[in-house]
Structures are given as C-alpha cells and as structure tokens.
Amino acid sequence: MMDFLQACCDGLLTGALYALIGMGLALIFGVMRIVNFAHGAFLMAGMYVTWLLFDKFGINPYFGFLPAGIILFALGYLVYVLLILPVRDRSDFMQILMTTGIGLILVDGAQLKFGADYHYTNIPLKNQAVHLGQISLNKASLLSFAIAAVFIVGLRAFVVRSRTGQAVRAIAQNRDVAPLMGINVTRIQGISFALGIAVAGIAGGLLLPALYVFPTVGDDYTLKAFVIVVLGGMGSIEGAAFGGLLLGVTESLTSLYWHNEWALIVDFILFLLVLSLKPSGIFGRQRT
C-alpha cells in the first residue's frame, strides 16, 4: 500500500511536467491545427540552454529555466515566421514533414555542436528529500512540480482571461471568422506557437536536474506529448493537464508493478487504445 502511494506521488510529480509539455502542444495544435513533431526537440533545446547556463555561468537550473523559456519563445516565433507560416495552409502531410525536419535539425544540430555525450547537472537539492509519514519526496522534483503547477495555472489563466488568450480561443474555434472580428491571426498564431515552444523549453529546464542531457533526450517526449494531448482531447488545454498527470501516474505504477522499460510501452498502447476507441480523448468533448 505504501509502495502504491509512493508511486502515485512520484507519478504526480512527473505528471505535472508532462502536463506542462502537453499543454504546450495542445496550444499549438488547438490554435494552429499544426501537429508539432518537433515538440520534444524544443524541449531538448530548453534543457541544453539551461544546462549551458549552469555549466558556463553556474546558474542554478531553477533560475536558468526562465531565460531558457524566453530564448525558446524567441526561437519559436522565429521558426513560426520562417518555416511554419509558409506551410500553414498546406496539407497535414506537408506540415508533419516540416516539423519532423525542424526536429531533426535541432537534434542533430545539437549533436554536431555539443556531441552525443551525456551531461549531468549536480545540485545539492537533488539529494535531499521531504518525508511525509513513510512517503519521501525528492526536493528537486517537488520544486519542479511547484514551478510547473504555477505555469499550468498561469497558462490556463492567460488563455481563459487575457485579451490575447481570448483571441487565441477565437481562432481555435473558427479561424475564418476570427479575422473579421479584428484579430490578427498571423500574430496571434505566432504568439501561441512561440508560447507552446517556450513552455516545452521551461519543462525541459525543470527536467534537467532529474535527467541526463543529450541530443536525443527529447525524442521520447514528442510521442509522450501526443499521448498526453490525445488522452486529454486534442486541442484542449485543461484536458492536456489531466492527461499529463494521468500519464505520470500510469508510468510510475507500471514501473512499480512491472518494469520501467515497460512504462513507455504501456504509454503507447494506451495511446493506440484511446485513438482507436475514443479519438476525442478521455476528457475531450465530442467534436463534430
């Protein structure tokens, strides 16, 4: 029983980061209808920026994730203007190819620049734990969870309340009518794309203390992000948050009762099941 609770807690801690990653992807998919196959590569880029700040300037990753997010926002906007905008109105086929290409350039660019070596970020917080009864929670993971939670709430508030957020939702609902309401579709889409990328970068930065960083570290996260978004209903930001938490707990329990190598298999099987049985997602509303 204690093992079960411990695994659930660990799962929720990871799940918050998954939620953040998934929300970023949902933002991009919901507003742009662009399937971002480079999501994990951008997460990797966020990790590398945070790691470089730590390695070169000794900046703690828990501060370094912020500049990483800002840099990734700028990178995302640039990528949107240069590469995504030209394919915005083309077929899914071409958009998927384009984002796959962007992902390859980022991953193999990182490989070219930094080599395939694994880098580890050692901070004291990593080796401390908080004890709640018999359950122990890693302090670094707990801090990542707290920061991720702030961003999850903030992102949702931004989309629901702010004026830009309203424009984002208007475009998601009907892209043809939105410009008639005086919304600059290109600009808003650029902002949402960049924001989605920035969030992935922030999640990367927050993952840094827990993981080794290497060029292909993000590859699994691209698929995981899709699993999360599909679980929650494609394009639903709240759904993605739930999907992330669900995935975190599922993985953690699979590792406990089975083996952690099987966790990813369970992820994908879950994904295939949801896709074939209820494509609108567990939490998604039926779309017409």
The binding site for other proteins (CB under 8 A) comprises: 35, 83, 86-87, 90, 92-94, 96-98, 100-112, 115-116, 215, 219, 223, 226-227, 230, 259, 261-262, 264-265, 268-269, 271-272, 275-276, 279
Return the residue matching tokens 């912020």.
66
Q: How far is the CB of 268 from other proteins (least distance, A)?
A: 4
The conformational region for residue 135 under phi > 0 = left, psi -120 to 50 = alpha, else beta, is beta
Q: How far is the CB of 116 from other proteins (least distance, A)?
A: 6
Q: How far is the CB of 156 from other proteins (least distance, A)?
A: 24
Residue 163 CA to residue 275 CA, distance in Å, equals 34
Please report, for residues 15, 58, 120, 147, 201, the alpha-carbon distance to residue 64 in angstroms, rounded to integers and kept in the order given.
Answer: 21, 9, 15, 13, 11
Coarse DSSP helix, strand, coil percentages of the chain, rounded to the nearest 5 percent: 80, 5, 20
Q: How far is the CB of 15 from other proteins (least distance, A)?
A: 20
Residue among 149 and 266 whose Cβ is closer to other proteins: 266
DSSP 152-218: HHHHHHHHHHSHHHHHHHHHHH-TTTGGGGT--HHHHHHHHHHHHHHHHHHHHHHHGGGS-B-GGGG
Please report, for residues 128, 140, 201, 264, the alpha-carbon distance to residue 209 in angstroms, rounded to integers and kept in the order given.
Answer: 12, 7, 14, 21
Return the residue matching tokens 């730590």.
54
Q: How far is the CB of 177 from other proteins (least distance, A)?
A: 23
Residue among 60 and 111 whose Cβ is closer to other proteins: 111
Residue 287 CA to residue 281 CA, distance in Å, equals 10
